Amino acid sequence: MNETMNKNINGIREKNKIIKCLYYASVIILNDFIGKFHSRHLRMWVCRLLGANIDKKSLVYRNTEFIYPYGLSIGEDTSVGGRVLLDARGGIDIGSHVNISSYTKFITGSHDPNSSTFEASFSPIIIGDYAWIASGAIILQDVRIGEGAVVAAGAVVTKDIPPYEIWGGVPARKIGERSKNVDYRVNPMGLNTFLH
């Protein structure tokens, strides 16, 4: 490899480092400042600018924390409550008409406890349409929550939940069934709700 090519490659690496630093600094500004603003329009604009794919009819409340918004996708008419953690490093795909209650956590990363280097791994979380994730629930990596499924408050979900089942507990397990007759809007009054 000649000297000019080495300089070009090193220059690209340095530019990539700068771009990464600017991206993560922008995410910190989103979480620590802009995410607390009352203007949902500004919050959503910055999230989209940072790569999140959020439908214009969906609502993300204040004080939601984003880790790597680029990996986040939210469908139509979905509501994400306040103080939710969305760790999208492994990818989070949330469907339409989903209700995510406050204080929930979506964690797509983990570590191998047997790895000598404590190796990190990331896997996606997928939430089906009409699902309801109740307050304080934790959804861990590599989990698929089926259409219309319900996760009870405080549950810790470590494996897939079939459609229209209700799961609760630590670790979460099936505790009931939900009616399959669901056809509602999460934001029936539109996006102009009071405390968003």
Q: What is the set of active-site residues?
A: 111
Contact 152, 167 (CB under 8 A): yes
8 Å CB contact between 150 and 130? no
- The residues that bridge with 60 in the sheet, in sequence order, are 80
| Alpha carbons 147 and 67: distance in angstroms, whole number | 25
Contact criterion met (CB below 8 Å) for 166 and 178: yes
| DSSP result, 41-108 | HHHHHHHHHTT-EE-TT-EE-TT-EEE-GGGEEE-TT-EE-TT-EEE-SS-EEE-SS-EE-TT-EEE-
Residue 164's region, left for phi above 0, alpha for psi from -120 to 50, else beta, is: left
The tokens describing 56, both together, are 């214009």
Strand order in the sheet with 59-60: 59-60, 79-80, 99-100, 132-133, 150-151, 165-168, 173-177
